A and B are shown apart, each in its own frame.
Chain A
C-alpha cells in the first residue's frame, strides 16, 4: 500500500494532504456515521410522534397545530410536519450515503483492492464492503424512484374503462424528473370476484383487468398480493366495495336527474364492514346518504345486514340535515321505484368497484438487489464471528469469562 493511500485512511491518524484529504477523512469517518445515524433516529422519532402531512387528514393536522402553537412555531419552519421530505432529513440521508460510499472505498483502498481481501478476516472484511455498498445502492434506487417514478390511483366500477390521462386518476403523484407522460394504456375493469370462507370472511379478491394500448389488447387477473405488469407499469389491487346503480327522476316531467353507479365507501368498523356514502346532489335541501346492505334480513321490522355476500340487497336512503341528524329513512329494494315527494328513486342494480394502484418504479430492481445484498453482507460480516462463537466448546468459552 502506498503512503498517499495510507494518509487517507480514517483510522490511521489525521490526513496530511490538505483540505481534500481532510474532507475525505471527515466524510468517511465512523464518528460521522454515528452522528448521522443518531440524527436519523431523532428525525424519524419526530416523524413517528408528530402528525405528518399525507398520513393524517389535513383537518386533524390543523387541529393539532392549533393546540400546540409553540411546537408548531419551532418545528414547522424546518418542515418537521413532513419530516421525511424535509431538508434536514434529506441532508442526513445524502451525507450518510456519501459517508458510506467513502468509508467503503477507504476500506477497499486500505486492504489494497478486492484481490488482497483474501487472508485472515476475509469474510468479515468482504461482508463489510458488501453491506455498505448495498446501502449506497439502496439510496440510489430510492432516489431513482422518487425522482423519476409515478404513483396513481384509479377507481373503476365493473364494466367501466378509463384512458391513461391525468384526470382519470383519483390521486396522482410523480417524480420531478419523470420523462414519460400519460396516454400509455386504456384500462377496463371486468368481473370482480370476492371469495369468502365461513360465509363471512373474505379470503381472496381478484379482478379481471382489460388492457389496451394501440393494437395491443391483453386481459390479466390482478388479485390482492399479486400485482400485474403492463408496459412497465405495475397494477396493484388496492380496495374494493359496492357501486349500486341509482336512478333519480322527476315524477312530473320524467326527466332523469341521476343515473349512474355510485361507488360507496367501505367503512371498517368493529361490527364489520359498512358501505355508505353521500350522493353529491342536494335533495329537497337535505344531504342524501345511501347505505347498502348487500344481503339483508328484517328483524323486529328493521332491515339489518345479514352478510357481505350479495344476496337480497337493500339500499337505505337517509335524508340528513346539516347537523347530521336524520330527517327521514327510506328503504329501496332492488328494482322497485320508490316515490319521495316529486321524485322517484330506483335502486337499479349492483356492481363492485375496485381501486387499482398504478405505479412506475424505475428504482425497483436496485432497491431489491440492495435489500438482499445488505442481508447477505450482514450475514457474511457477522456469520464467521457467530460461527466461531457457536463452534467453540463450553470449556473454550466459559460463561464466567470474556
Chain B
C-alpha cells in the first residue's frame, strides 16, 4: 500500500464514522440541517473511498479485484454508491444507512487487516469475464446489503416500535417495499454474476459448474433469495416474515463470500 492509499483509506474510515454519527443524530432529532450535513459527510466519505480505489488501481495496474482487501474495498464502494444513488433519488431513506455504515466499516477493517502487496493479474484473471463477474457480484451484494439494512430497520421498528429513533424512520410497509425492490434488483444482478462466472469457469476449468464450495454457497444464496421472492408470490409473506428471510439470506451471502474456506476446499482464489 502506498502512503497516499493509506491516507485516503483512513480519511474514508473517519468520514464514514462521522457520517454515521451525524445520520444517527439527524434521525433522532429529525433536523433537516443535520440531515444535510450528514449527507455531505457521507458523500465526502464516498469520494475518499473512490480515491482509495483509484490509487489502488493505479498502483496495481489492474482493477482492485484480486485479494480480500481489494474485494472488500471495491465491494463496499459499490454498496455505498448504490445506496447514495437511490437515497439521492428519494427511493431509500437516509436512516437505512444506520445499519449499513457500520457493516461497511467492519468490512473495510477486515480487508485492511488482511491487506497485501498489489501484484500483477495472474493468467486466470486475464479474462473479459472478470470485470462482468465482479461488477455484477457487487451490484448484487450491494443491493442485498441495502435490502437487509431496510429489513433490519423494519424488524427493529416492528419489535420495538417506541424505541428512539425508530418512530421517525419510514413506515414499515415502505421499508418492506424497499427491501423487496432491492432483493429483486440484487437477484437479477446475482443471475448475471452466476451466468458470467459459469462462462468464465468453462474457459478456465473446462466446466461451467463443478459444485466447488464457493459455487455451492453462491447457489444456496441465490436459491434463498429465490425462496424470498416465491414466498411473497405464493404464500403472501410480507413484513416481518419476509424481513427475517431477507436477513437469513444475507447471512448465507456473508458465508458464501467470507466463510467458504471454513467448510471445504475451493479452487476460487476469492477473499
Interface residues of A (CB under 8 A from B): 30-31, 33-34, 37-38, 40-41, 44-45, 47-49, 51-52, 55-56, 84, 142, 151, 197-198, 201-205, 223-227, 234, 236, 238, 357, 359, 361, 364, 367-368, 371-372, 374-375, 378-379, 382, 385-386, 389-390, 394, 397-402
Could you tell me if B206 and A151 are in contact, using CB atoms closer than 8 angstroms? yes
Could you tell me if A390 and B174 are in contact, using CB atoms closer than 8 angstroms? no
Could you tell me if B122 and A371 are in contact, using CB atoms closer than 8 angstroms? no
Could you tell me if A224 and B230 are in contact, using CB atoms closer than 8 angstroms? no
User: B185-208 CB contact bits vs A (8 Å, 1 = yes)?
Assistant: 101100110110011101111111
CB distance from B29 to the nearest CB of A (A): 18
Given known pairs A49-B263, A203-B121, A399-B170, the reply for A390 and B91 (CB within 8 Å) is yes
Given known pairs A48-B264, A378-B187, A394-B90, the reply for A400 and B206 (CB within 8 Å) is no
Chain B contacts for A37, CB-based, 8 A:
223, 226-227, 230
Given known pairs A374-B195, A399-B93, the reply for A203 and B122 (CB within 8 Å) is yes
Query: Which one of A84, A203, A385 has the greatest number of beta carbons of chain B within 10 Å?
Result: A203
Measured CB to CB, the nearest residue on chain A to B255 is A48
Chain A contacts for B2, CB-based, 8 A:
none
Chain A contacts for B177, CB-based, 8 A:
402
Could you tell me if A375 and B188 are in contact, using CB atoms closer than 8 angstroms? yes
Counting from the closest, the 3 A-B pairs by CB-CB distance are A402-B173, A30-B234, A357-B206
Could you tell me if A375 and B171 are in contact, using CB atoms closer than 8 angstroms? no
Chain B contacts for A227, CB-based, 8 A:
203, 206
Could you tell me if B184 and A386 are in contact, using CB atoms closer than 8 angstroms? yes
A147 to B126, CA, bound (A): 32
Given known pairs A402-B171, A402-B173, the reply for A44 and B216 (CB within 8 Å) is yes
Chain B contacts for A361, CB-based, 8 A:
207
A41 to B228, CA, bound (A): 12
Could you tell me if A55 and B170 are in contact, using CB atoms closer than 8 angstroms? no
Chain B contacts for A40, CB-based, 8 A:
223
Could you tell me if A197 and B120 are in contact, using CB atoms closer than 8 angstroms? yes
- The reply to whether the CB of B219 lies closer than 8 angstroms to some CB of chain A is yes
- The reply to whether the CB of B235 lies closer than 8 angstroms to some CB of chain A is yes
Majority secondary structure, B binding face: helix
Could you tell me if A379 and B188 are in contact, using CB atoms closer than 8 angstroms? yes
A357 to B171, CA, bound (A): 56
Chain B contacts for A52, CB-based, 8 A:
211, 264
Which of B90, B191, B205, B217 sits near A375, CB closer than 8 Å? B191
CB distance from A368 to the nearest CB of B (A): 7
Given known pairs A33-B230, A44-B216, A225-B123, the reply for A367 and B174 (CB within 8 Å) is no
Could you tell me if B126 and A224 are in contact, using CB atoms closer than 8 angstroms? yes
A223 to B254, CA, bound (A): 34
A202 to B120, CA, bound (A): 8
Given known pairs A224-B124, A401-B171, the reply for A56 and B227 (CB within 8 Å) is no
| Listed A/B pairs (20) with beta-carbon separation below 8 Å | A30-B230, A31-B234, A34-B231, A48-B217, A48-B263, A49-B263, A49-B264, A55-B213, A55-B264, A201-B119, A202-B122, A202-B123, A203-B123, A225-B204, A236-B206, A357-B205, A372-B195, A378-B187, A389-B181, A399-B91
Could you tell me if A56 and B265 are in contact, using CB atoms closer than 8 angstroms? yes
